[in-house]
A and B are shown apart, each in its own frame.
Chain A
Amino acid sequence: NAGVTQTPKFQVLKTGQSMTLQCAQDMNHEYMSWYRQDPGMGLRLIHYSVGAGITDQGEVPNGYNVSRSTTEDFPLRLLSAAPSQTSVYFCASSNYPDSPLHFGNGTRLTVT
């Protein structure tokens, strides 16, 4: 099984550009989430989803948009990239509400 797959692995954007970070899981997990990891800050939750059609905000949602049209996919959209969004982004999924998370390998995003 592939698990959680994130694409692209690396991306460079100019300020103001938009893009979508892709996340797909093949484990039929209901719960999916997006985190960003910054040096010295640990991981912070951006958005999460408890099933297809249901999303909610996490700790740092501003500047990001999500939708969940299928169980497998949970894309993260940057509407107008800013240098403060330079980070490593991780997608995660789990099969039960309180079960461990399965993480993708991350997307390293640089905004110039």
Chain B
Amino acid sequence: SQQGEEDPQALSIQEGENATMNCSYKTSINNLQWYRQNSGRGLVHLILIRSNEREKHSGRLRVTLDTSKKSSSLLITASRAADTASYFCATDARAGGTSYGKLTFGQGTILTVHP
């Protein structure tokens, strides 16, 4: 089952613009993570936000979490061509406690940044 649903499925912008991706999930969570995947490569962790946090920043990345709406957003500011990749949200369900690496991934947003 897919816990996370991402929106939009694809996003095309110009360099310098901001990119916003959204993720919705169904069950209570301990934390929500965002990953990036370049074509033909493995996923790379970007940022983790815990259920008791509302906002987190890392460089040009800003993540928000609204547990009442079961949703999160990832904002990439001042995008670059090198940001072109697929972006995935992943959640670990609260039920049973810790995740042990058992994450549930969304289907991803394909971001294309044109130079």
Contacts and interface: CB of A to CB of B under 8 A. Distances in A.
A105 to B, nearest CB: 5
A33 B2 CA distance: 17
A99 B50 CA distance: 11
Name the interface size band of chain A: 20 to 34
Interface in B91-115: 92, 98-108
A41 B3 CA distance: 11
11 contacts: A40-B107, A42-B88, A43-B105, A44-B105, A59-B104, A92-B43, A97-B101, A98-B31, A98-B99, A101-B101, A105-B40
B43 A97 contact: no
Interface in B12-56: 30-31, 33, 35, 40-45, 48
Given A33-B102, A43-B88, A103 B107 contact: no
B13 to A, nearest CB: 22
B37 to A, nearest CB: 9
Contact of A42 (B4, B31, B42, B92): B4
Contacts of A40: 107
Interface of A: 4, 31-33, 35, 40-45, 48, 50, 58-59, 90, 92-94, 97-106
A80 to B, nearest CB: 26
Given A44-B105, A100-B33, A101-B101, 4 more contacts: A35-B105, A58-B102, A94-B101, A97-B99
B68 interface: no
